[in-house]
Amino acid sequence: MASQLKPDKKLPYIQRASLKLDTLKFFMQVAWESDALDNKKYIELSEHLEDVGNQIGGWLKDTLKKLNPA
């Protein structure tokens, strides 16, 4: 949804995506610690989530820069 909105409208959507990603990473760690995920699967999923986190973080940084130009 956020990709179709103006910067001032997309910020809450990007922040919500970041929060949901953090929640997912937390529960994935809980699953790993309780042995519901083996090490190999945990590492594989963590790498993908790190990539997604970097993308969301970049998008958030770019959006904030557009809202508050230096």
Q: Tell me if residue 69 falls in helix, strand or coil.
A: coil
Are the beta carbons of 37 and 31 closer than 8 angstroms? yes
Are the beta carbons of 2 and 17 closer than 8 angstroms? yes
Q: What is the pLDDT of residues 40-52, one digit of tens each?
A: 999 999 999 999 9
Secondary-structure percent of the chain, ordered helix, strand, coil, rounded to 5: 85, 0, 15
pTM confidence score? 0.86
Are the beta carbons of 45 and 28 closer than 8 angstroms? yes
Q: Tell me if residue 37 falls in helix, strand or coil.
A: coil
Mean pLDDT of the chain: 94
